[in-house]
Amino acid sequence: MSRRLRTALTPYALIFPGGIWLAIFFVVPMVVMLSLSLQSGSVEDGYAFTWNWHSYVDGLTNYHDQIIRSVIYGLSSTVIQIVIGFPVAYWIAFKGGRRKSVYLFLLLLPFLVSFVLRTISWQFLLSDNGMLLGPLKGIGLLPEDFRVLATPYAVIGGLAYNFLPFMVLPMYVALERIDPRVLEAAQDLYASRFQTFLRVVLPLSLPGVFAGVLMTFVPATSDYVNASVLGGTNTTMIGNVIQNQYLITQDYPTASALSFTLMALLLVGIFAYARALGTEDVLEVAAR
Amino acid sequence: MSLRGRAAGRRPLLGGRGLQIFTWLVIAWLLLPIAVMILFGFNDTQGRYNTAWQGFTLKWYGKLFEIGDLTEALVNSLLIALLTMVVAGVLGSLIGLALGRYRFRGSGTTNVVMFAAIACAEIVMGASLLSLFVTLAVPLGFWTIMISHVMFSISFVAVTVRARVMTLDRSLEEAARDLGAGTWTTFRLVTLPMIFPGVLAGSMLAFALSIDDFVITNFTAGGTVTFPLWIWGSTRVGIPPQVNIMGTLIFAGGVLIAVVNALMARRRG
Amino acid sequence: MNDPSRQDLAFLRGMTGRRLGRRDALRLSGLSAAGLALAACGVQGKSVAQPTSSAQVESEVDKYWSGKTKNGHVDFVNWPLYMDPKLPELKEFTERTGITVNYKEAIQETTSWYAKIQPQLAAGQSIGYDVMIVTNSVQLTQLIKLGYLVPLDHAQLPNFAKNVGERYKSQSFDPGNVFTVPYASGMTGIAYNPKYVDTPPTSYSALWDPKYKGKVGMMADSQEIANFAMFLLGIDPAKSTQADWEKAAEKLKEQRDSGIVRKYYDQSYIDPLAKGDIWITQAWSGDIFQKNLSDGTDLKFVIPDEGATIWTDNFMIPKTAVNPVDAIMMIDFFYEPAIAASLAEYINYVTPVPAAKDIIVEKAAKATGEDKKTLDMIAGSPLVFPSEDDYAKLRTYVTFANSEEHKKFESVFQPITTS
C-alpha cells in the first residue's frame, strides 16, 4: 500500500469502530423507533408494520397539553438559568482572578452526585414542614398551607437547578474569551461601563448563551425525573408520558410516536439553530 | 490564556461585591442538597426510614454493605462505568483523533451524527434503543446497559479529544517521522503522550456520565439494577442511610481525583 | 401493496426522496436501511391456548416437569423490603437443602416489571430468575394467558397443601393454583396521620373532603383509584361495567380539579404521610405497619365502611426458568408455619398460612419487653391476620375479559393521573 493511500485511509480506520457503534446503536434505533410508531397490534399478538399513522394522531390529541407544558417548563427553566447563570459566569470570568478554576470546580461539584439523588434531596428539603419551610412557617413568615412541592414552580425550579452548570460553563467560556483590549478600546472611546457591557460584552457573550440554551433546553424539556419527584397533579411532562407508555402501559406504537414527535420537535429546532450558528462552533463551545 | 489572565489590572467593569455575594449564593444553592445528603449519612435513625434528624452516628458506615441488593447495584454501576470508560474512551479517542487531524470525505457526516448524539434528548435515545432491543428480542441486562452507555459517551470523548488534537503542533510528529520513526512508533511515542490528557479527560467524563445515568438505563436495564435505579426504586419505601453514604463516597472520590489532577497539572505547569 | 418488502422500499424511497439534496441525510438513510429491514419484522408476541380441564392441566404439568432435576441454586426476585434484609428464611433454606439462593429486590411495580420481562419471555429467553413475586393484576393474567408461567406440580408442594388458608385455593385470578401460590396479601385502604386528622375517617368520602385540600394522596395505579371512586359510588369493582368506570372517572376528575389531590403516588406516599406533606392517603396495609414499627411513627390505617380491596402477591415460576425444581422446593419451604411466621413478623402483611399466628403467639408468650409488645401487636393485627368479619368487607380488583376491555379501562383512568 502506498504511503499516500494509507494516509487517505487512516481517518476511516480510526472512525470505523466508534462509527459503527454509533450507527448501530444510535442511528438504526431511531429508524426502528420510527417504524415501530407506524405499527399496530398488541403485546399479546405482536406488532406489525401497517402505516398506522393513528398513533401520531392519538398521541397528539391525548397529550398535546403535556407537550405544550414541557416546552413551557423547558423555556421557563432556561430563562431562569440565563438570569441566574449570566451574572455568575460574568463574575467568575472577569473577577474570578486566580481562583477562577476553584469557582468553576465548585459549580461542577453537583455532577459528582447522582442526578436522581440530588433531585430526591430537594424533595426532602422542600417538604411542607421540612428543613426550609418548617422554620419559616414556625415563625409565621409563611401561611400554614403554603407549599412548594407538588407545584409547577418546584418542577421548573428543579429543572433550573439540575441543568444550571451546563448553562454557566459555555457562557463563562464565551466571556473569558473576550479580549481585554477590546474592553479597553471601548473605554478609551469614552463608553461608560454600562455601555461597554451592553454594546461589547453582551454581544460577544451571545454564542455562549446560545450554546448554554442548547445544552439545557433539550434535557429540561424532555426530562421526567423532576416532574415525578417534585411535581404534583397537572405537572406531567411529555417525558413522563413516554416513559409511562413504554415501560408501564407497553403501548409501543403510541410511545414511539410521541418520542419521535418530541425528537423531531427538538432536533429540527436545534439543527436549524446550530446551522444558523455553525455546527463546529457550537460543538467546540459545548466541548469545553 | 496567561496573557489575558495577567491583564487583570484593567479598569473594573460592572459589578463588584453584590455579584460576588450572588455567585456565592448560587454556589450554596447548588451544593445545599449535597450537604444534606452527606449529613443524613450520619443520621442516627432507628429504622430504615431516614427522614428526620435524630443525632450523629457513624454506625451506618459500618453497615455500608449490609443491603446486598444495594451493594450489587453499586458494583454493577461501577463495572459498567469502568467498561464504558475504557471502550468509549478508546473508540471516542480514535474518532476525535481522526476529526482533529485529518480532512476527509465523511467528516461532515460524522460531525453531524456526533452532534445529534450529544444534543439528542436522553429519553428519546433510551426509547429508541428499547425499540431496537425489543424488535430484535435482545435480552435486556448488564450488556445492553453497557452498550447504551458507550453509545452516548463516545461523542463526548471524541469532542474532548478532538479539541485537544486541534491544539497540537504537528511538526513534532513530522520531526519524529523525519528521524525515521514508523507510523506506529510515532503514534506511540509522540502522538499518544501529547493527546493523552484529552483522552484521560474524555474517559473520565465517560465514567462520570455512565455512573450517573438514569434515564437511558431505565429503558435498557431489564431486570438488572444500577445504583441510580436502586435509589429510584427505594424512594417508594424510604431511602436507607447507606445510599447517602455511597453517594458521599462517590462524591468524595470525584473531588479527590479532581484535586489530585489539579495539583499535578499545577506541578507540570 | 400487500408485499411488506415492497412497502419498505417505498418507505425508504419516501424518506430519502423528501430529504434529497442533503448529502448527510442521504448517508444516514443508507445506514438506516439495515434498521428498516429489521424493523419490518415487528415485535413478536403470541397468546397460547389455555388448559381448560383438570386432565389437560395434569398433562401440561407432566410434560413440563418430567426429566427436570435439582441444580443446587435458585434465583429469586421480589419487591423492595419484602423480606428481612438479613434473609433469615433463605439462609435456613440453604442450610437445610444445600440450595443457594440469589435474592434480588428488583420488582418495583407490577406494570413496569411486566414490561421488563415480557420481551424476554416472548423470545423464550431466561429473565435471570426462577421465582418471582407478582401481584394479581392484568399483567398476571397476561402472563398466564401468554403461557409464560410454569404449571405448578402440586405433588412437590406438600407444605402448601397442608398449611395454606382455604380462601387462597380458589382465587379468581388463578383457581386451583395452577400457576401461582400466594406469598402475602394486603389491603388497599385509607391511611392518615393523626397529628393532622382529628376524626378517624370511616368512609372514602374523607378523600374527597375539601378540608384536606392539597393534603390528599392518591395512587397512580388506574385500578387503585378506580376502586376507590367505585366504592364511594357504591359499585363493587369486580362487577363494574364501562358505564360505572365513566362515573368513577368523573368523581376522580372532580377530586383532582378542585385541588384536593396533591399528587398521584406509587408506593412513595409513605414518607410524605409521615412528614406531613400529605395527611390522608390511599395506602397498602403493611406499609403503614412497617413504618410505625421501624420509625416509631403513629400512622393509622383504616378499612372504610364501604369495604376495601384485597390483593395477593404470588410466587410463580417463569417458563424460561433455569432451576425450576429448586424453585418449587423453595416456594414450598415458605409454607412451613415457622417460616411463614418469621416472614410475617417482618413484613406485616397478611400471611396465607393461618398456623403462623399460633407460632407468633407462642413466641410472644416467651418474649419480654419491646419484643413481646411487637409480637403481640402482630398477632393481634387485623392487617396480618384478618378476621372473618374483616374478610367479609374485602373485595377484589376489576377483572377484564380481554385486553380490549383493559385498554378501554386504562383510557378512562390513565388520563386522570397523567394530567
Range of the domain at B200: 86-238
Q: Do strands C73-77 and C100-104 pair parallel, antiparallel, or not at all (unpaired)?
A: parallel
Query: Are residue C62 and residue C181 in the same domain, yes or no?
Result: yes
Q: Name the least confident of A97-106, B29-38, C1-10, C331-340.
A: C1-10
Question: Hey, are the CB atoms on B31 and A106 less than 8 Å from each other?
Answer: yes
Comparing CB atoms, the residue among C108, C117, C294 nearest residue B48 is C294
Asked if C213 reaches chain B (Cβ–Cβ under 8 Å), the answer is no
User: B67 and C85 in contact by Cβ < 8 A?
Assistant: yes
Residue C21 has pLDDT above 50, yes or no: no
CA distance A248 to chain C (A): 5
User: Quick one: C215 and C177 in the same domain?
Assistant: no
CATH at C265: 3.40.190.10
CA A151 to chain C, closest CA, distance in angstroms equals 9
Length of chain B: 269
Per the CB < 8 Å rule, is B140 touching C116? Answer: yes
Q: Min CA distance, B118 vs chain A (Å)? A: 9
Handedness of CA B53, B54, B56, B57 (dihedral sign): negative
Contact at CB, A236 and C419, closer than 8 angstroms: yes
Is residue C16 one of the residues assigned to a domain?
A: no
Report chain C residues whose CB lies below 8 A from the CB of B52.
275
Of B113, B223, B234, the CB nearest to C117: B223
Shared domain for C180 and C315, answered yes or no, is yes
- Whether B50 is in a domain gets the answer no
Q: Which of C32, C138, C221, C225 to mutate to test the interface with A (most CBs of A within 10 A)?
A: C32
State residue B7's pLDDT score: 41
Would the pLDDT of B14 be above 60? no
Q: Do B131 and A94 touch (CB under 8 A)?
A: no
- A15 is a domain residue: no
Q: How confident is the model at residue A29 (pLDDT cuts 50, 70, 90)?
A: very high
Region of poorest pLDDT, from A274-288, C166-180, C329-343, C372-386: A274-288
B243/A117 touch (CB, cutoff 8 Å), yes or no? yes
C7 contact A CB<8A: yes
Task: Please tell me if residue C266 touches chain B, with a CB cutoff of 8 Å.
Answer: yes
Contacts of C114 in chain A (CB under 8 A): 250
Site from A2, A16, A121 to mutate, B interface, most B CB atoms within 10 angstroms: A121
Are C248 and C266 in the same domain?
Answer: yes
What Å distances lie between residue C306 and B61, C236, C309, C393, C395, CA to CA?
Answer: 48, 10, 10, 8, 10
| Number of independent structural domains in chain A | 1
Rounded CA-CA distance B228/B217 in Å is 9
Note whether C72 and C83 are same-domain residues: yes
Averaging pLDDT over each range in C132-141, C163-172, C328-337, which range is the top one? C328-337
Closest-CA residue of chain B to A256: B127
Please judge whether B19 and A90 are an interchain contact, meaning their C-beta atoms are less than 8 angstroms apart. Answer: yes
Residue C397 has what pLDDT? Answer: 84
Q: How many CB atoms lie within 10 A of CB B1?
A: 7
A44: cell is 399479546
pLDDT one-digit tens code per residue, C123-167: 888 898 999 999 998 889 889 988 999 999 999 999 999 999 998
**Which pLDDT tens digit goes with each residue over B191-242?**
899 899 899 999 999 999 999 999 999 999 877 889 999 998 888 767 889 9
Do the chains contact at B26 and A18, CB–CB below 8 Å?
Answer: no
Interface of A with B in 61-100 (CB under 8 A): 84-85, 87-88, 90-92, 94-95, 97-98
User: What mean pLDDT do residues A10-17 have?
Assistant: 92
Residue C357: domain span? 54-185+311-390
Give Cα C191 to chain centroid, integer Å: 19
Confirm or reject contact between C28 and chain B (CB < 8 A). Answer: yes
The answer to whether position C8 is within a domain reads no
How distant is the Cα of B52 from the closest Cα of chain C, in angstroms? 8
Q: Is residue C21 part of a domain?
A: no
Kindly report the pTM of this predicted structure. 0.86
Mean pLDDT of chain C: 84
Residue of A273 and A174 predicted with greater confidence:
A174
Question: Per-residue pLDDT for C2 more than 50?
Answer: no
Assign B47 a pLDDT band (cuts: 50, 70, 90).
low
A39, A44, A128 member nearest C277 (Cβ): A128
Nearest alpha carbon to residue B106 among A31, A266, A272, A23: A23
Whether C84 contacts C346, CB under 8 Å? yes
What CATH number is given to the structural domain containing A155?
Answer: 1.10.3720.10
Structural domain includes residue C245: yes
Kindly report the nearest CA distance between residue A129 and chain C, in angstroms: 7
CA distance C293 to C298: 9
Torsion angles phi and psi, residue C308, rounded to 5: -155, 170
What residues of chain C, 306 to 345, have a C-beta less than 8 Å from chain A? none
Under an 8 A CB cutoff, do B139 and C125 touch? Answer: yes
Q: What is the pLDDT of residues C180-221, one digit of tens each?
A: 999 999 999 999 999 999 999 999 999 999 999 999 999 988
Q: How far apart are CA C310 and CA C393, in angstroms?
A: 10
* Chain C residues within 8 A of B47 when measuring between CB atoms: 293-296
**Closest chain C residue to the Cα of B132, Cα to Cα:** C39
Interface size between B and C, measured as CB pairs under 8 A: 108
Q: What is the CATH number of the domain that holds B191?
A: 1.10.3720.10
pLDDT grade for A66, boundaries at 50, 70 and 90 = very high
Domain of A169 in residue numbering reads as 64-287
The answer to whether residues C252 and C272 belong to one domain is: yes
Alpha carbon of B70: minimum distance to chain C alpha carbons (Å) = 9
Q: Is residue C412 part of a domain?
A: no
Residue B269's pLDDT is what? 60
What are the residues facing C316 on neighbouring strands?
Answer: C132
Residues C211 and C237 in one domain: yes
**Lowest mean pLDDT, pick from A204-218, B3-17, C368-382:** B3-17
pLDDT value at position C109? Answer: 77
Residue B96 or residue B140, greater confidence: B96
The minimum CA-CA distance between C84 and chain B, rounded to whole Å, is 10
Question: pLDDT of C223-261, one tens digit each?
Answer: 899 999 999 999 999 889 999 999 999 999 999 999 999
Residue B150 to residue B92: CA distance in whole angstroms: 9
Under an 8 A CB cutoff, do A124 and B110 touch? no
Residues C305, C315, single domain; the answer is no
Residue A47 lies in a domain: no
Task: Kindly report the average pLDDT of chain B as a whole number.
Answer: 87
Task: Determine, for residues A233 and C276 on separate chains, whether the beta-carbon distance falls below 8 Å.
Answer: no
Query: Which of C84, C270, C293 to probe by mutation at the B interface, max B CB count within 10 Å?
Result: C270
Phi, psi dihedral angles at B202 (to 5 degrees): -65, -45
The three grid cell numbers given for residue C80, joined into one nine-digit string: 423492595
Q: What is the interface pTM, i.e. ipTM, of the complex?
A: 0.89
Q: Which residues pair with C187 in a beta bridge?
A: C310
pLDDT band at B119 (very low <50, low <70, confident <90, very high): confident
Q: What is the pLDDT of residue A195?
A: 87
B94 HSE (CA, 13 A, CB side): 17
* Average pLDDT rounded to a whole number, residues A62-82: 94
Q: What is the pLDDT averaged over residues A181-189? A: 87
- A231 interaction partners in chain C (CB closer than 8 Å): 263
Question: Within a domain: residue A32?
Answer: no
Secondary structure of chain C in HEC code, one letter for each residue: CCCHHHHHHHHHHHHHHHHCCCHHHHHHHHHHHHHHHHHCCCECCCCCCCCCCHHHHHHHHHHHHCCCCCCCEEEEECCCCCCCCCCHHHHHHHHHHCCEEEEECCCCCHHHHHHHHHHHHHCCCCCCCCEEEEECCHHHHHHHHCCCECCCCHHHCHHHHHHCCHHHHCCCCCHHHCCCEEEEEEEEEEEECCCCCCCCCCCHHHHHCHHHCCCEEEECCHHHHHHHHHHHCCCCHHHCCHHHHHHHHHHHHHHHHCCCEEEEECHHHHHHHHHCCCCEEEEEHHHHHHHHHHHCCCCEEECCCCCEEEEEEEEECECCCCCHHHHHHHHHHCCCHHHHHHHHHHHCCECCCCCHHHHHHHHHHHCCHHHHHHHHHHHHCCCCCCCHHHHHCEECCCCCCCHHHHHHHHHHHHHHHCC
Closest-CA residue of C relative to B233 is C108
Interface check C30 vs B, CB under 8 A: no
Mean pLDDT throughout B10-23? 72
Question: Dihedral (C-alpha) B145, B146, B149, B154: value to the nearest 10 degrees?
Answer: -150
pLDDT confidence of residue C45: 52
Task: Please name the member of C105, C117, C287 whose beta carbon is closest to the beta carbon of B69.
Answer: C105
Using alpha carbons, list the distances in angstroms from residue C222 to A42, A250, C219.
19, 15, 8
Query: What would the pLDDT profile of A218-262 be if each residue is shown by its tens digit?
Result: 999 999 999 999 999 999 999 999 998 888 877 889 999 999 999
Q: Out of B55-64, B179-188, C35-44, pick the least confident.
A: C35-44
- Residue A26 and residue B125: Cβ atoms within 8 Å? yes
Between chains, do A247 and C28 touch, taking CB under 8 Å as contact?
A: no
Among chain C residues, CA nearest to A22? C31
Q: C263, A240: Cβ pair inside 8 Å?
A: no
* Binding partners of B (≥3 Cβ pairs within 8 A): A, C
Residue A261 has what DSSP assignment?
H
- Whether pLDDT at B58 is above 50: yes
pLDDT at position C7: 29
User: Choosing among A63, A137, A151, A250, which should be mutated to test the C contact, i.e. which has the most C CBs within 10 A?
Assistant: A250
Q: Which residues of A touch B147 (CB under 8 A)?
A: 25
Of C77, C268, C296, the CB nearest to B46: C296
Are residue C315 and residue C176 in the same domain, yes or no?
yes
Q: Is residue B244 part of a domain?
A: no
- Nearest residue in chain A measured CA to CA from B112: A279
Tell me how far apart the alpha carbons of residues B189 and B97 are, in angstroms, rounded to a whole number.
15
Residue B43: predicted pLDDT? 92
Number of domains in chain C: 2
Assess if residue A11 is contained within a domain: no
Average pLDDT of the segment spanning B78-102? 95
- C9 pLDDT tier (thresholds 50, 70, 90): very low
Contact B243 A103 (CB under 8 A): no
With a pLDDT cut of 70, the percent of chain B lying above it is 93
Range in B145-159, C214-228, C382-396 with the lowest mean pLDDT: C382-396
B112, B135, B237: residue with CB nearest C270: B237
CB contact under 8 A, C294 and B237: no
How many distinct structural domains can be found in chain B?
1
Q: Above pLDDT 70, what percent of chain A?
A: 93
